[in-house]
Chain A
Amino acid sequence: MFEIFGIPSAALFGQLLIGLINGSFYALLSLGLAVIFGMLNIINFSHGAQYMMGAFTAYLILQYSGLGYWPALIIAPIIVGFTGIIVERVFLQRLYKLDHLYGLLLTFGLALIFEGVARNYFGSAGLPYTVPESLRGGQNLGFMFLPNYRAWVIAASLVICIGTWFVIERTRLGAYLRAATENPTLVRAFGINVPRMITLTYGFGVALAAFAGVMAAPIYNVSPQMGSELIIVVFAVVVIGGMGSILGAIVTGFGLGVIEGLTKVFFPEASNTVIFVIMAIVLLVRPAGLFGRRA
């Protein structure tokens, strides 16, 4: 056991790990927000609620069909993503011609509905969801103890984030998406079904949130307010990073998670607020965000 800046290394690395875990969720959620915003020009306020729905869907799948974590990790995002597609078809597509603010208000209303329903059926106390058998235990790295599940969460979210970046920036489908973001009318003229692409993008973004929710279920308890607490921090992350760049969203998400974790070690009182303080500083120094383009 050794010390760094007077802090025992196990505590320091422990918080660093928690920071990376939180950062994984910030990155996954801000990535989803950025992808949705790029195509729909809507800030998806219900993103947090959809993350919560992912966790609850995993919980319900376990309760009613006995299917565990691994099937839930696939099934829950598909189910929640499908509800996202319905939301886009029924509600959001009516708003594209209006001010962006209406999209924010509508999805805020949806978030209230989702959270309210969850509270009615499950109460506000958290429900437990156990870590899957195959990922129990952990590794002793010498300077700290690394639980297997946490290592998996960090690795999985990195893979998903980089995979999403690759699809959008380096494939033909991604090129269509980026083109449709810039000029939907022109892309339609080339015979590409842009409205369907928008619907699927929203479904994908929502599925991403649900995927994060399933991964979060064994770490945090499954509770109705798990999303609303997180989404406001994610908004700050998005303001800091700027939504112009996918890679920017990922880097900012992980980076802020780590900073938050370190703050917990050195100045615990500020750990809740440090991301907001950073946001204020970034607004003063670089109003467009670290990776953003001036709108």
Chain B
Amino acid sequence: MEHVVNPLVKKPSMLRSQSETIGFVIMTAAFVIAPFLTYPLFLMQAMCFALFACAFNLLIGYVGLLSFGHALYFGWASYLSAYSAKTWGFSPELAILTGTATAAVCGLVAGSLAIRRQGIYFAMITLALAQMMFFFALQAKFTGGEDGIQAVPRGALFGLIDLRNEMAMYAVVLIIFLGGFTFIYRIIHSPFGEVLKAIRENEARAISLGYKTDRYKLVAFVLSATLAGLAGATKAIVLQLASLTDVNWPMSGEVVLMTLVGGLGTIFGPVVGAFAILVMQFKLAPIGEWVLVIQGAIFVTCVLLFRRGVIGEIANRLHIRL
């Protein structure tokens, strides 16, 4: 069967079939060169948000579940990572692991509640649960309330590499980002990922084919929450700060915006979207509250005219996968 070639289907060119690999190589190269051209701190922050958006995209783009509460995993991982590094004196790799594990547990609890309802209710439940955890963070003693956890020590990786060195920190963040990104890529292209896409397209049909879709959705949810946590935990070490901003609802909205701008259900979209939104916030910081209005306007524009996002649009024009 494998050798039967349909003459009507042109053999895809090298560029077409390998577009994702080529994209990955370009992205990696860009990240290796970038710290010599612009602020490493900004790039590290952007990579954390890019990973966050990729994790979010795993749910919305490949399972069709809109979580409006991803700040929960990002923010709580960030708190636990910062707290364990500062108060318990954990080394950075252990602190990040602690934060990520926290997000995984939160994801398991919140996910098993949220998947009990579909569609629009799923979004509202995830938002409400995230808001509940926001209030916990606001009231809990260890989070430092309005001040957050400041001056988190970066420490030394494995007790050897001093992360106060900006380039060493950059290398660690780059490895975490690329690791997370590759992991998500592998999930999407695995048999498990194919089932997820089947659920997105037609859940009833997936059920009738014998798949226990609730389990698949829960596993995808936990994976997404865990990776969002990895991003948040790393961010806390990089910026040496965990605060209420990370866990509040506008953060959940921001990650939706990043993914939407870049392209829902594209591999590279969330990365591009995260960079675009962060650059915009950075450039527009002087105009204060108007940033909110502009973000809202981008939402409206994307939903009405530009639903594929930047990368989705490019991929569609060139007939390639990105």
Q: Which residues in A have some Cβ–Cβ distance to B below 8 Å?
A: 37, 43, 91, 94-95, 98, 100-102, 104-106, 108-117, 119-120, 228, 232-233, 235-236, 238-239, 269, 272-273, 276-277, 279-280, 283-284, 287-288, 295
User: Is B293 within 8 A of A116, CB to CB?
Assistant: yes
Interface 1/0 per residue, B269-307 and A, CB below 8 Å: 000000000000000000011111111111110111001
User: Is B304 within 8 A of A239, CB to CB?
Assistant: no
Q: Which residues in B have some Cβ–Cβ distance to A below 8 Å?
A: 60, 66, 68, 113-114, 116-121, 123-125, 127-129, 131-132, 135-136, 138-139, 249, 253, 256, 260, 288-300, 302-304, 307
Residues of A within 8 A of B293 (CB): 112-113, 116-117, 120
Query: Total number of A-B contacts with CB less than 8 angstroms?
Result: 128
Report the minimal beta-carbon distance from B131 to chain A, rounded to whole angstroms: 5
Given contacts A120-B289, A238-B124, A284-B113, contact A109 B119 (CB under 8 A): no
Report the minimal beta-carbon distance from A164 to chain B, rounded to whole angstroms: 21
User: Is A273 within 8 A of B123, CB to CB?
Assistant: no
Query: 4 nearest interchain CB pairs?
Result: A109-B299, A112-B296, A116-B292, A276-B132
Residues of A within 8 A of B60 (CB): 101
User: Is B66 within 8 A of A110, CB to CB?
Assistant: no
Residues of B within 8 A of A295 (CB): 117-119, 121
Given contacts A273-B136, A280-B113, contact A104 B129 (CB under 8 A): no
User: Is B129 within 8 A of A109, CB to CB?
Assistant: no
User: Is A110 within 8 A of B300, CB to CB?
Assistant: yes
Interface of A is mostly: helix
Which one, A114, A272, A283, A288, contacts B125 given CB within 8 A? A283
Q: Who on chain B is nearest to A111 by CB?
A: B296
- A85–B132 Cα distance when bound, in Å, is 33
User: Is A109 within 8 A of B124, CB to CB?
Assistant: no
Which one, A112, A119, A276, contacts B131 given CB within 8 A? A276
- A235–B122 Cα distance when bound, in Å, is 11
Report the minimal beta-carbon distance from B143 to chain A, rounded to whole angstroms: 14
User: Is B292 within 8 A of A43, CB to CB?
Assistant: no
User: Is B128 within 8 A of A110, CB to CB?
Assistant: no
Residues of A within 8 A of B260 (CB): 105
Residues of B within 8 A of A120 (CB): 288-290, 293
Residues of A within 8 A of B298 (CB): 109
- A233–B131 Cα distance when bound, in Å, is 9
Q: A105-B256, A120-B290 are in contact. List 7 more A-B contacts (CB 8 A).
A: A100-B120, A112-B293, A120-B289, A235-B127, A239-B117, A276-B128, A287-B116
